[in-house]
Amino acid sequence: MTPLLEARGLNKCFGQLRANDDVSFSIFPGEIVGVVGENGAGKSTLVKMLGGALVPDSGEILISGSPVILHSPADAQRAGISLVHQHFNLIENLTVEENLVLGRPELRHGIIRFKNLRPGFLTVAEDLGTHIAFDARVSTLSVGGRQQVELIRALFHDPRLLILDEPTAVLPPNERDRLLRFIRLLKERGTAIILISHKLDDLYDCCDRAVVMRGGRVVGTSDLRADERAELIRLIVGAELPPPDTRHGTLGKALVSVKDLVVHRDNGTVAVDRASFELHAGEIVGLCGVEGNGQTELLQAMAGMRPVQTGEIIYAVGAQRMANADAASLRRVGVAHIPEDRLHYAVVAAFSLTLNFLLRKLSKPRFVTWGLLRRQAATKATATAIKHNDVRASGPRARMADLSGGNQQKFVIARELGDDVGVILAGHPTRGLDIRTVVAIRNRLVAERARGVAILLLSADLSEVWDIADRIMVMARGRLRGPVRVGETTLGEIGHWMTTP
Amino acid sequence: MSEGMTRVIRVTIVLVVAALVPSLFVLMAGHNPWRVLETLLLYALGPQGWSEVLVHAIPLTLIGLGVAFALRGGLFNIGSDGQLIAGAVLAVFFAPYLEGWGIAGLLVFLILGSLGGAALGALVGYLRAWFGASEIIVTIMLNYVMVQMISYLIRGPMQETSRFWPQSYLIPENCFLPVIVQGTRLHAGLFVALIMVIVFAVIQRRTVIGFVSSVLGANPGAAVYAGFRVKMLTVIVMAISGGLAGLAGAVEVGGIYQRLQDNMAEGFGLAGIAIALIARLEAVAIPLAACLFGIFFAGTGALQRELALPFPLVWIIESAVIFAVAAVQWALPNRKAVA
């Protein structure tokens, strides 16, 4: 049997970097193949070449046995390959339907007949089991909703091969399950699927086999037998993972007290509805919920980035005691904040690492005197920080945008966490990162807890919360449930809380 | 094809198109493009022209710096014309009190100019930060307000004592910026502009306010995350930007006009935007871009006199050059980090 798609000896270089080095790959109709590897292993480069977004330097791609050259995503689409990117390409101010029509040949003739296209969209949407409102603006959709729009767009061409780049990274558990069910449905219909994921559970739940990449090469494959999981991890990482840190903290006094807090969204609707809880020294409290239920706004308000409507957020860190303080004052007394949306808040992509380091250090006399930046001191401190935290970058002068997502996140954590920190507000600190980085970040948080730091962990990954949190609370439609001790609840109960306010 | 080759081809195409388009218009108007270029350059580099180019480059540099500072902070200041007038008016208003202060009087005169422009800029920043007004629209509207205001002042409260000409009284002589090359109009404002280029570069690279404002421009979310007071910052950025335009106003009065009159520095605000953009907001490139525009401002008259070339044609050539410079920058991608 000839494979649906076969890649032979693909090479792709970006300057000095060999992103793909002699990569061969094949997939048969009705097969689901997982592609795993750490950040920068070359997975994205491979699928971009298969999806026509990049042209390989050398090597060939065969579809049903005959060689093709894919110069553009449109070429790939004609060949029956659709690619759904990790970062969505949607225009926020347009409706779902307008987004679906974009880039379609119907658009090129100047007149769009939405009526003729809608039945096709509806059929795909029904298959997907979604009731998406075609007239809704994309800006009003949740992450899961946006992904469904991308999926409908990809499936409208009835592709023979669907490539999904990190589709589960941003999904809450229930939507993830729905997506995986749908992938299996496509498989039954004979569609081949390439699934890129950092989460081994995704692979075990729906893939037939997995291809492991490391350093731009294919280093092995796995049949995904449950008893070989440890070997798979070794194959991905290329070494043993550091063991998870299991130290606990000793519970101290309440460092943060939130009382009857009400916070609004930008559009004036209530995001957080009378929330109250305490965060103690030496504990990790997990904050869970389906995206868009107010967790983001709660975290932003606690970080001093969003105005408090009514109620109080009281910080009692060190000798200081402050209510509803602003972001700069909070940072000064030792409140670290890892924002959930890295590129929107945590870093300036166009700036060097040094300037990004200075972003949250302007109150430190070491780096600023009389309104003047001490750039040498900052460069030196940045160099030390990236070295000690294993941030892979050419140096402090490197541009933030040139770092991989995992390295950017490690940089943010390196900048935020230090000896002077008493409280950590962490928004999805491990989302979309590879196994090794995830373990490193979790271990870091656990170590901080052991040091007596109070940590609020906003996470969509329930297993992560179960692994490292002491208490857990859930937000649904702005109302807070909990916190309860992790040992005194079950996944079922938390899932129930997440969906019923 | 290698990337280097692609780039060379791109730049070549851009330059050819940039040369052809204005040539076509010049030909259509019945003139010889070579003659036009020759006349323009001969004048600009000639014994009379060079100093006039610099005379125009002085205010253009200051305004270009102001626009660039605002743009680095993510704000579009189209109001340099109005801020220039505000600076000139405030400086001239207080100038009579500076008589007999010597060089200190000149210094105060220039500072007053900056303050006038800064006040108008700050007003725009305030409206934008607290009421969400578009700084683009507000600055454009304020330009009209300021043009009418100066027109009123020089026919009313600030008119010269004979009450004949629509112009203000003369400022005291110690507030003049002295001519630095005999037989030309080139005045000491040149040093003011060069000093401000250096100050601008230092502010951008070395100071907290420069850093903080460029964060605001590059990623407003990061500015909130870092805990900057974004509203206040918006006011400060607009004030600094307006202050540079106001300084240009005082420099023009002190160096050229010695009084207020209509149509001072017409079109400098728009040129300042083009200068800031083609200089890519880099301090050292701004005076060079200002000299390029100085050639046009000064050379327009020469082209009219010697070739009877109509005004609009000169503007077409000018815009073709702006396009060419912008397009060459597109053709030469620059991925340098802001270090």
Predicted TM-score (pTM) of the model is 0.80
Provide the mean pLDDT of chain B: 89
Examine the pLDDT at B132 and tell me if it is beyond 80. yes
Read off the tokens for A169: 């990274």
pLDDT value of position B1: 47
> pLDDT category, B337, cuts 50, 70, 90?
very low
DSSP letters for B106-147: HHHHHHHHHHHHHHHHHHHHHHHHHH---HHHHHHHHHHHHH
Check B219 against A339: CB less than 8 A apart: no
B28 within a domain of the structure (yes/no): no
Q: What are the phi and psi torsion angles at A27 (to 5°)?
A: -145, 140
pLDDT value of position B124: 97
Check A355 against B207: CB less than 8 A apart: no
Examine the pLDDT at B153 and tell me if it is beyond 90. yes
Rounded to an integer, the average pLDDT of B255-281 is 88
Tell me which H or E stretch contains A180. Answer: helix A173-188
B86 within a domain of the structure (yes/no): yes
CA atoms within 13 A on the CB side of A282: 10
Q: Residue B292 carries which side chain, given as an amino acid letter? A: L
CB-nearest partner of A372 from B206, B335, B338: B206
B7 within a domain of the structure (yes/no): no
User: What's the number of domains chain B is made of?
Assistant: 1
Rounded to an integer, the average pLDDT of A130-138 is 81
> pLDDT category, B50, cuts 50, 70, 90?
very high
Examine the pLDDT at A388 and tell me if it is beyond 60. yes
CA atoms within 13 A on the CB side of B217: 23
Q: Distance of CA A206 to CAs A34, A183, A232, Å?
A: 9, 8, 16
Strands A284-288 and A308-315 come out as unpaired
B317 within a domain of the structure (yes/no): no
CA distance A22 to A45: 12
Among A348, A356, A399, the residue to mutate for chain B (most B Cβ within 10 A): A348
Examine the pLDDT at A236 and tell me if it is beyond 90. no
Rounded to an integer, the average pLDDT of A4-18 is 85
B284 within a domain of the structure (yes/no): no
B313 within a domain of the structure (yes/no): no
Query: Hey, what domains does chain A have and what are their CATH numbers?
Result: 5-237 (3.40.50.300), 251-334+421-501 (3.40.50.300), 345-419 (no CATH)
DSSP letters for B44-75: HHSTTHHHHHHHHHHHHHHHHHHHHHHHHTT-
> pLDDT category, A448, cuts 50, 70, 90?
very high
Examine the pLDDT at B145 and tell me if it is beyond 70. yes
Which residues share a beta bridge with A295? Answer: none
Tell me which H or E stretch contains A485. Answer: strand A479-485
CA distance B251 to A402: 44
Write the pLDDT tens digit of every residue in B171-180: 999 999 999 9
Nearest chain B Cα distance for residue A96, angstroms: 26
Q: What are the phi and psi torsion angles at A182 (to 5°)?
A: -65, -40
pLDDT value of position B263: 83
B269 within a domain of the structure (yes/no): yes
Query: CA A20, A25, A30, A34 torsion: positive or negative?
Result: negative
Chain B hits for A383, Cβ within 8 Å:
none
pLDDT value of position B4: 66
Domain that holds residue B148: 59-278
Check A304 against B227: CB less than 8 A apart: yes
Cα torsion A336, A342, A344, A348 to 10°: value is 90
Chain B hits for A349, Cβ within 8 Å:
218-219
Examine the pLDDT at B338 and tell me if it is beyond 50. no
pLDDT value of position B335: 43
Write the pLDDT tens digit of every residue in B18-31: 778 878 888 888 88
B239 within a domain of the structure (yes/no): yes
